[in-house]
Amino acid sequence: MTTKNLTKELYFSKNDATSVREVHALFEKLLATTWVINIYRNQEPKEINLKDLGWRISYNNAKKAAGTCMWKMRNVGFGIQEAYAKEVQLSMHFLQQNLGEGKAFEWEEVIRHELAHAVDFELRKKSNHDRHWVAVANAMLSTGERTFTDNQIGDEKPSKYTLVCGSCGKESKKHRRPTRESACGKCCREHNGGRFSKEFVLDVIQNY
């Protein structure tokens, strides 16, 4: 089996430097692209234009993920559901760090990766990282692999808060103080059937 050269039509090359403005322009351009997905046997290719289908692009300040694809579902009657609030987001927190390191190529992959989730959702009303999604991603010139490793996307700033479970000792980092009480999911699943329990409420420790 031959492997398709997925870099043939990419906009950025390895080690390219760029700017937030250029990345945003590419983000908008790819959102408005009509993708031709030809991955089904004995079926006509599917044409998907995310912008026409109500998808938006935006930015967040996420500290754990470079990109996110998200949507919500609501009932519209007669047992029918529709999707709304359909967005593909990039983390401005990481984007500003990595562009100065010649990571334009990797950020194009992030964009294509997340847009592939949106196209996958439009095709089958769900999306994960299974073989169907990989085929969609490949058709959109994404490798279907994770772009940044944990080390590459590790937050350079120490977290201001640490949430600690007094029962199992599990810790999680937070950059903002939680506004409401939360419990350890692991302990709640193991000891309380997944239901919230005051017994496993997390302690909030301020680090600085």
Residue 55 maps to a domain: yes
Contact in structure between 162 and 173 (CB atoms under 8 Å): yes
What is the DSSP code (8-state) at residue 63?
A: S
How far apart (Å, rounded) are the C-alpha atoms in residues 36 and 172?
A: 41
Domain assignment of residue 90, given as a range: 20-139
Q: Tell me, what CATH number does 86's domain have?
A: 3.30.2010
Q: 197 and 102, same structural domain? A: no
What is the DSSP code (8-state) at residue 201?
A: B
pLDDT value of position 153: 52
How far apart (Å, rounded) are the C-alpha atoms in residues 201 and 188?
A: 9
Residue 153 maps to a domain: no
Q: 82 and 116, same structural domain? A: yes
CA dihedral 146, 132, 52, 46 (to 10 degrees): 140
**Tally of domains in the chain:** 2
Q: 179 and 104, same structural domain? A: no
Nearest CA to 184 out of 162, 199, 205, 206 is that of 199
Per residue of the chain (208 residues), what is the pLDDT tens digit?
334 455 558 899 888 888 899 999 999 999 999 999 999 999 999 999 999 999 999 999 887 889 999 999 999 988 899 999 999 999 988 888 777 678 888 999 999 999 999 999 999 999 999 999 999 999 999 988 876 654 555 555 567 888 888 888 888 878 788 888 889 988 888 888 778 888 899 988 887 6
Residue 13 maps to a domain: no
Q: 85 and 182, same structural domain? A: no
pLDDT value of position 2: 37
Using the CB atoms, write b or e for 88-125: b if 16+ within 10 Å.
bbbbebbbeebbeeebbbbbbbbbbbbbbbbbbbbbee
Residue 47 maps to a domain: yes
pTM for the whole thing?
Answer: 0.71
